[in-house]
Structures are given as C-alpha cells and as structure tokens.
Amino acid sequence: MKAIVLAFFLVACTAIVVEAQTGAQQPTARTAPAVATGAKSPALGEFPPYKAPRAADSKPDLNGIWQAFVTADIDIQDHDAQAGPRPDIMGAYGAWPGGQGIVEGGEIPYKPEALAQKKANAEKRMVVNITSDDHRHDTGDPELKCYRPGIPRANYMPFPFQIIQSTDNVMFAYEFAHALRTIYMKEDKETPKDPPADSWMGWSHGHWEGDTLVVDSSGFAPWTWFDRAGDYHSDALHVVERYTLVSPYHIMYEATVEDPSVFTRPWKMSFPLYRRMEKNIQLVDFDCVEFVEKMLYGPYYKNPSE
Amino acid sequence: MRVGLAVVMLMVGLGLVVVALPVQAHHAFAATFDTTKPVVVHCVITKVELINPHSWFWCDEKATDGTVTNWGFEGGSPNSLIRHGVTKNTIPAGTELIIQGYQSKAFEHKGVGVNMTFPDGRKFLFGGSAPGAEGEVATPTKDEIAPKDDATSKK
Amino acid sequence: MANRFWVSSKVLAVVITIAAILCVPVFVSAQTKSAAAAKADKNAATNTPKKAWVLPHTPDGQPDLQGYWTSLSFTPMERPAQYAGREFLTDEEVAQIHKEGIQHSYEFTFNDLAETPVYDATVYALSAWQEGVAPNRRTSLVVDPPDGKIPALTPEAAKAREAARKHGPNQDYANPNAPVKADVAEDLNLGERCLSFGGPPILPGAYNSNFQIVQGAGYVMIEYEWNNEIRLIPLDGRPALSQGIHRWHGDSRGHWEGNTLVVETSNFRPGATFQNANAKTLKITEYFARLDQNTIEYKFTIDDPSTWTKPWSAIVPLSHMDGPIFEYDCTENNNDAVNILAGARATEKAAAEKARNISQKQ
C-alpha cells in the first residue's frame, strides 16, 4: 500500500516538474528565466494589487505632478502620423505623431448630424476669426488659440499637471495656459451641486468610492474640443472621471462622456497617467497667449500684412 | 472684460492713486461703447449669460408694429453675483426689464446696461441694496432679486 | 449741453470721493474693538472672543491658512501727511472712517477716465461693502520705513520710470484724452492682453480682490480671482530655478517659521515685475500669519537695490470671505483687445477721411 502511494507521489511530482519545465520553455526569449524571487517583467495593462499611501485627508494620495503620454490631443481615435501645418517651413518640427486611440471600443458614437459637424470642425480647425463676441468661437480649435482645453482634454495634453489634494478641495493645476480645476469635495451653499454658470473647465464635485476618486462635472461651455480632429460636445456635456492609483507611479484614468445632443450613448476613454519623477520637477509656465496674439488680433493691427 | 485692477495696480505703482479707486480701463470702454448714443429699451429677457468676466443679458424688444429686436447688454463681472447665490437661472427667460445704457460702437443692438430696473421700479439684481448704518450688508435675498411674477419663473 | 454738465459734476464727485478716500484711511484694531466697529464688520478680528481661538492645523500638522480671502482695503499704500508719526488710529477714528468709506463705496460706479458712468457696481455686488471690505487700524499699508512712505527710487530707476510713463504704450492714464497708441497687441498692458494681473505681492484691488489658499502635501497653492492665476509654492527646501527659467509670478519657495508661512520669490520675468522693478535683482519675501478665524496678517518685504534705495515692507490685512472663486475666462472673452485695436483703426480711418475731405475742398 505504501509503495503504491509513494509511486503515485513520485509520478505526480515528475509530472509536475516536467510540466513546469515545459511551461518555462513555451514563451519566447521575452520572458526572463524564473528567478528565485519570482519577479518577472510587467504584463502590459496590468498592475499587481496596490494599496496607495494615504494623504493628510486619509484618502489615497494623489498629490504630485502627472502627465499622460498618449497622442490623444491630436486625435482621441486611432490616427496615423501626419504633416502638421506649413510643412514647407516646419518640417519634422511641425509633424504630428501617430498613435492608438483612447476611446474604448474604438469609435465615438456620434449622431449622424453630429458626425458631419465634427468633420466640419476638423476642416476649419485652423480658421481663426476673432470678434468681440461669442462668434470668435464659431470656428477653430480652441487649443490653437490658447483657450482653456476643457475636460477631459486637459488631462491628455502633452503637458504636466499638478494635483494638490486637501480635504475640502482637490485642485488640478495644468501647465497648459495655467488652466485650473477645483474639485469640490463637499456640496454646500458656496459650492452647490448645480453649476451656477457655465465654464470651460466645468463645475466639478468629487467623492471617494473605495480608493478611487470619482469626479462628476457639468456646466461646460460648448466651446472646447476633445482633440484637434474636431471632436466636440455641447453645453449638455456631462463627464464622470475615475482616478485610481495603481502603483506608486501610475494613476489609471477613465472618463465617461455623456452628451445626448451629440452622441447616441455614453462612451469612455481611458489611459494611464504617469508620475513625473525628476527630482525637483515643478510646473513651469506655458502661458501661450503671448504666442498667439498676432494670430488672433493681427487683422486689427495697424499693418496687418506684416 | 474689465481690467480695472491692472490699471489700478499700475497706478498704485506710480503712486498716483489709492488702491481702492475703481478705475475702468479708459480705452477699453471708450473703444467699445458710444456715449453719444444712449438707449432706453423695454424688453423681455431671452437669456442670461454669466461668462466671467462678463455678464450678458439678452433681451427681446417688441416694437409697436410687432417686430422683435434682440438686444444684448453687457453687465459687470459675475464673480460676486455667484458668491451671493445668483445663477444663470435666477433671472428667468420672460422677465421684463427696462434697460438704460449706451450703444455699442460696433454693433447696432448691443450695449452696456447702465441702469436696469423691473417695470415696478425695483432695481435689477443688487441695485436696490444699501449699506446699513454700520456698514453691514443689507442686500436683498435671492428670492427678492428675482422677478415678482411667478408665472415667468422657472424652477 | 446739459448731459455734458452732468457728467462733469459726476467727475467732480468721483474726484472728491477719491480725495476723501485718500485722506481718510480706514482701519480697525486687531486687538481692541468698540462695539460699533465690531458690528460694522463681521470679518474683522475679534479681540475679546467668547473662548480662546485655537489656530487650526491641516491633517498633516501645518498651520491652516486655507480658504477664501480678500485683500480689499480702504487703507492707502503710503501714510497721508495728516497722520505723520502715527502707525495706528483710535477705535473711534476706525469706526468713523470705515462708515464713511462704506458710504463712499456705495456710490461706486465703473466708469472710464472720460468720466462716463458705465454701470453701477452695486448691481453686481461689487461695491467694497458688498465684497466684505474689512476695516484696518493702520494709517498706511507701508510699515517700514517707519514713516509709512516707500523709500526713494535709485536715480536710474527714477529715470526709467519717467521714460516709461512718457513713452510707454497706451499708458498715459493721467490724461484721459491722450491719443491711444494701439498698433499691435504689445501696445496694450499685460492685463488687457490677459497675460498677467500681477503678484506677488498681494495688494488691495478695486474689486474681485480675492484669492484662495489650498494646502496639499508639501505645497501651498494661491489661486487669484483675476484670470485664475496660480502660484504653487513648494515647501520641501528644493533649490530655486536657475536664471534660465523665468516665470510670470517669479519662482517661489516657502517654509514655516513657527506658525508663519514665509515665501521667498525671485527670478522674475522682465517686463512683469511689481512696479517695474528689476527682474534679476528683485526679491520679495511674504509672511502669512493667521491671527484668528477670519484674519491673516500678510506682510511683504520688497528688496531691489537696483530700484529702491532700501528695502521696504507693507502689511495688507486679509479677511476671510465666502467662496467660490469662479472660473475667469480672460483670453477666451477678450473683447477689450479687439475693441481697443479696432477702435484705434477706426479713429485713424476717420482722421484720414477728414484729411482727404479737407484736401479735396482745397
């Protein structure tokens, strides 16, 4: 009896060892040989379970300087590299990189007439006609004019931003055009749920669901775009974002976009945010207004042709 | 947009005036509105925009022959309005106003609203406020500054 | 014409108001307070609290400066001659002057320097009393030198300032009827271009003189109401930026000295400095100390040997106020830039037309 059990055991062990060796040989040279600690290169899109350290408000600590590394500001859907404006003088300086989109499912669910509007936007993205009224917003990508980028676009522009987290307010300070969001962590008389007026960066309230900061924003002016490809929204825009620390160096970001005037259903975009780890990293100024004045106001200059 | 502060700070810097002086950017106003073209418009609000640093009051004026002209009157920065509980919905569409102001130089039916009242004579928004004897704020409540006619009030 | 006469009277009223405010500064004591003064301003410091006030701290143990604050004040920058030698006023003077200041500000209308009333600030709750101006016991904002006057300029700074006033673009505020030079955007001032509304230091302004302080791990953030301009002040002792980077509000580093936040700022951007001081040599030190629930004592020291013959300091009282500070879309709504430039073109065109007509008649 003991011999049978022992034999069975030995066979089982052998089988396990053989399978382990076989399994180890299956992947290509990408996978490093297993070492005693069990460490291996990270699988893309996955993070091991992580419990973030707490900030002073006893919530996961989002303080820091963060930046996205997608090319979504150019186009939130899949896009090829392309020559930018004036390739005759800009060359590679002005060319735009290609990249994979950040829209879950790949395509933005436009209503048919809204898709036509998006295309019209794209065609006229560099048409700038500044008047002293709201018609200045009729054409042209607001980014080109150094206008506030809106949400979620500000989070995936190629510029860092800083989160300053306090109990009652979480501030997002963007390097681009010193755009700013105040995420009110409580609803009260001063900061009620409903937006008192419209704004470019929206009116936002936040709360924690477990270790995820959920930000609910509405009260958007209709003039921001999602990218340079003309993707746009109306003043009915409603965005719900989720910020989750998944490692000391990454926030997984997800935004659900809803706008019944423009889209047939809500849709999502998601990408990681990376912590800027340079030792003395700080935001510097990108107050691009000074770079666009000639473009905006040139027609009113004394000698516009110059 | 009013850039009084920039002017004020410059003037402080030059030692010209005390900081509390309310100074309008001269050239901005003079460039925008024509003080030789005063207007008085009796109209009905179609839209209120509080797009800081402007406020805009869009208002339909009905002529005796029935033609309707939509006017746009610029008002002050809405920051403090918002702090006092005013929202873009406080003055609902349909509110009747009498607006006295100056016409815009560039646009025929735009202007700045210098004096704005309801037909019953009450002043618009916080225009009817007065400081108390000790300087305490005696401002009307949000309900008081809205029009009296409940039929035109949106919820 | 009657209208013009009325305008002139209004001018006079405004000028008298200005003179009155200049000569009659307003204060309240942080220490002692009459019942009238206490009632006059709910934001002023109370000196006889019902129970001892305890300085609040943030959850990570730093003095809590957070909230919405206004620097609005009737107090003049420099000490008026009638108060020479006096740093403070009596409680009775404080209450009286505050009351008068309130009454004057009630008449506050926005107008242009051509003295045409634009709109009544009271309608928009922008009068000083509606915005919660607090009385101040001091005779002037400047506290050092002890005479309450800003020290003399260096000779080269005085020359530079005079030249700027004469030839600076669009800057002849002393003469409202001066021709406007507005050929290009650079002829407008930094505020008209929505580039910067200044700071540091924090000063009283005509209205919307407000800001928000938020404290997060190792940082103090100051958000100004005007154009929502931001200062992010690290407290971790990191080195300052080199002269290779220039920021619109300078480069700031902060640390705590007891319960006082000390912020040192240097390395300013040429053309965007306080009172046109030298961007390379200017150093501004700010001190924030919370005196009670509703008051921060804010002091700043200006040190620029290229501009002033000695350093000088001022104290600007900061009073707590209700929020929020709403988004301020300056460049997105910049009608002024368009109107000023277009207006100058229209004026030139009209002048050219007139000249043509005259020459045609000859």
pLDDT digits (tens, 9 = 90+) for A185-201: 999 999 999 999 999 99
pLDDT, tens digit (0-9, with 9 covering 90-100), for C237-280: 999 999 999 999 999 999 999 999 999 999 999 999 999 999 99
Tell me, yes or no, if C181 comes closer than 8 A to chain A by beta carbon.
no
Quickly state the pLDDT bin for A59 (edges 50, 70, 90). very high
Residues C295 and C355 in one domain: no
> Tokens 């242009």 — which residue?
C112
Q: What letter would DSSP give residue A299? A: G
Residues C340 and C216 in one domain: no
Instruction: Give the pLDDT of residue C31.
Output: 32
Tell me, yes or no, if C242 comes closer than 8 A to chain A by beta carbon.
no
pLDDT, tens digit (0-9, with 9 covering 90-100), for A90-103: 999 999 999 999 99
Q: What interhelical angle do A289-297 and C335-361 show, nearest 10?
A: 40
Q: How far is CA B1 from the centre of its chain?
A: 13
Domain carrying residue B96: 34-152
Q: What is the mean pLDDT of chain C?
A: 83
Inform me whether the pLDDT recorded for C167 exceeds 50.
Answer: yes
Instruction: Give the pLDDT of residue B133.
Output: 60
> Tokens 């003080």 — which residue?
B35
* A289, A130 contact by CB (below 8 A): no
ipTM computed for the complex: 0.86
Q: Which of A71-85, B130-144, C341-355 has the lowest mean pLDDT?
A: B130-144
Mutation site for B-interface testing, chosen from A131, A134, A184 by largest number of B Cβ within 10 Å: A134
Q: Give chain B's domain count.
A: 1
Residues C296 and C339 in one domain: no
Q: How far is CA A272 from the centre of its chain?
A: 8
Instruction: Give the pLDDT of residue B105.
Output: 83
Task: Report the CATH number at residue B138.
Answer: 2.40.50.140
* Closest Cβ–Cβ partner in C214, C322, C323 for A171: C214
Domain carrying residue C163: 2-321
Tell me, yes or no, if A197 comes closer than 8 A to chain C by beta carbon.
yes
The phi, psi pair for C16, rounded to 5°, reads -65, -40
Flag if B13 and C120 touch (Cβ within 8 Å). no
How much of chain B, in percent, has pLDDT values that exceed 70? 68
Residues of A in contact with B72 (CB under 8 A): 133
pLDDT, tens digit (0-9, with 9 covering 90-100), for A212-257: 999 999 999 999 999 999 999 999 999 999 999 999 999 999 999 9
For C326, nearest residue in chain B (alpha carbons): B79
**Other Cβ atoms closer than 10 A to A104:** 12
* B129, B140 contact by CB (below 8 A): yes
Residues C312 and C340 in one domain: no
* C232, C218 contact by CB (below 8 A): no
pLDDT, tens digit (0-9, with 9 covering 90-100), for C306-322: 999 999 999 999 999 99
Residues C64 and C159 in one domain: yes
Instruction: Give the pLDDT of residue A244.
Output: 98
Q: Give chain C's domain count.
A: 2
| B14 domain residue, yes or no | no
Q: What letter would DSSP give residue A155? A: G
| C97 domain residue, yes or no | yes
Residues C298 and C355 in one domain: no
Residues 6+ apart with CB under 8 A from C33: C44, C45, C46, C47, C48, C91
Distance CA A164, CA C220 (A): 8
Residue C337: half-sphere exposure toward Cβ, Cα within 13 Å: 31
Classify strands B130-131 and A161-165 as parallel, antiparallel or unpaired.
Answer: unpaired
Flag if A285 and C323 touch (Cβ within 8 Å). no
Instruction: Give which of C265, C274, C262, C141 is closest to C196, Cα–Cα.
Output: C274
* B100, B114 contact by CB (below 8 A): yes
Ramachandran region of residue C250, left (φ > 0), alpha (ψ -120 to 50) or beta?
A: left
Tokens at residue B147, please? 């029009």
Mean pLDDT of B139-153: 61
Q: How many Cβ contacts (< 8 angstroms) between chains A and B?
A: 28
* C243, C267 contact by CB (below 8 A): yes
Residues C70 and C29 in one domain: yes
Instruction: Give which of C211, C289, C293 is closest to C249, Cα–Cα.
Output: C211
Amino acid, single-letter form, for residue C36: A
* C142, C313 contact by CB (below 8 A): yes
The phi, psi pair for A65, rounded to 5°, reads -110, 125
| C326 domain residue, yes or no | no
Residues C239 and C342 in one domain: no
- Name the pTM for this structure: 0.85
